[in-house]
Structure 1
Amino acid sequence: MSKQFAAKTPEDLPSAETLLAMSGLEFIEAIFNGEVSGPPIAELMNFKLHHVEKGKVTFRGAPQFTHFNPMGGTHGGWYGTILDSALGCAVATTLSKGSTYTTLEYKVNLTRAIKAGQWVDCTAHVQHSGRSTAVAEAVITGVEDGKIYATGSTTCIILRPKTPTI
């Protein structure tokens, strides 16, 4: 069983030195294995890493009543947050030591409602990871029913360490 934990204060987050000393895959695996803290948003939104490999991650989570919109359904922001997290972490697993990324854009398509307490998996795959950009896609599926609840895609910019020019 994973011993993941979320940062409770800014000091709990891994330092830039810690982050940059590992490859992206090593960093995401360290979060998964509970060696460094994960982001507080994961606890707030009730999801965590479920599987990690190079170019692919799965988050498992379940929205709660606190994630409802005014009409009593799961807010689209919950879908977007788990998708953005999985997409970004999948991209991170392709990065070399000293590199980071940030999301340039992402798209979300909601296909059906997720009920409060319903467990879903959000699996993201990297389609391309190049010198300056990466592209990934993801799908949210029900753990029990296997139905597709949403899909998403992203383009990320890859920030590489500066190398001295001669």
Structure 2
Amino acid sequence: MTHATSPADLADMDVLRHKSGLEFMRALASGDLPGAPIAAGMEIDLDEVDDGRIAFTGTPRFAHMNPMGGIHGGWYATILDSAMACAVMTRVPCGSTYTTLEFKVNITRALPADTKVRCVGLVAHAGRSTAVATGEIRGAADDRLYATGTTTCLIMALPPA
């Protein structure tokens, strides 16, 4: 997957106005649109896109550690926020977008550096103006649970062209 390396690489509002959220996410997964710049530095990649379901894979590295040598909670939060919010995006209608209103992360065990994980986000509810989703980070090799999360997102119409 390629990631945007400058503001010019990001999808413009016109692209968002003419694609449903599911179409937009599928364009990211296929490489027709570049992925989020943050994903490159966090070493996470969009892996699967389905209606109401998103999967990312990722591998935290030394660069993602806190001063005590553990993987920083921000890494867990970033991959969970990405999976849960992008799952919501798959339910957003054409001409609309979303933003995260709040999210919560529960870290269940320490994630060793260089451990490949899979993070799945699932929509629990998507209404006209809000959506709720859940997520889990699990070891790609052993399916061990490392963290869970929940989010509430606001769904909103894009401004006119």
TM-score normalised by length of structure 2: 0.97
Deviations 1:37-62, CA, capped at 9 Å, x for gaps? 11100001000111110000000000
Alignment counterpart, residue 147 of structure 2, candidates 145, 150, 162:
150
Give yes or no for the alignment of 1:125 onto 2:112: no
Alignment counterpart, residue 7 of structure 2, candidates 10, 24, 27:
10
Which amino acid is 1:15 matched to? D
Q: In structure 2, what is the Cα distance between the partners aligned to 1:90 and 1:43?
A: 19
- Displacement of 1:19 in angstroms is 1.6
Which 5+ residue runs of structure 1 have no aligned equivalent?
none
Matches within 5 A, 1:45-124: 45-124=42-121
- Displacement of 1:6 in angstroms is 0.4
**Cross-structure match for 1:36:** 33
Q: In structure 2, what is the Cα distance between the partners aligned to 1:18 and 1:58?
A: 23
Runs of 4+ off more than 4 Å = none
Q: In structure 2, what is the Cα distance between the partners aligned to 1:88 and 1:103?
A: 7
CA contact under 8 A between 2:80 and 2:149: conserved in structure 1? yes
- Displacement of 1:160 in angstroms is 2.5
Give the total of aligned pairs.
160
1:112 match: secondary structure = coil
2:87 match: secondary structure = helix
TM-score normalised by length of structure 1: 0.94
How many percent of aligned residue pairs carry the same amino acid?
A: 51
Q: Provide the alpha-carbon RMSD of the alignment.
A: 1.2
Which amino acid is 1:140 matched to? I
Which amino acid is 1:41 matched to? I
- Displacement of 1:162 in angstroms is 7.2
- Displacement of 1:116 in angstroms is 1.2
Q: In structure 1, what is the Cα distance between the partners aligned to 2:9 and 2:43?
A: 19
- Displacement of 1:10 in angstroms is 0.4
- Displacement of 1:63 in angstroms is 0.3
Which 5+ residue runs of structure 2 have no aligned equivalent?
none
Deviations 1:113-158, CA, capped at 9 Å, x for gaps? 1111100000010000001100000000001111100000000000
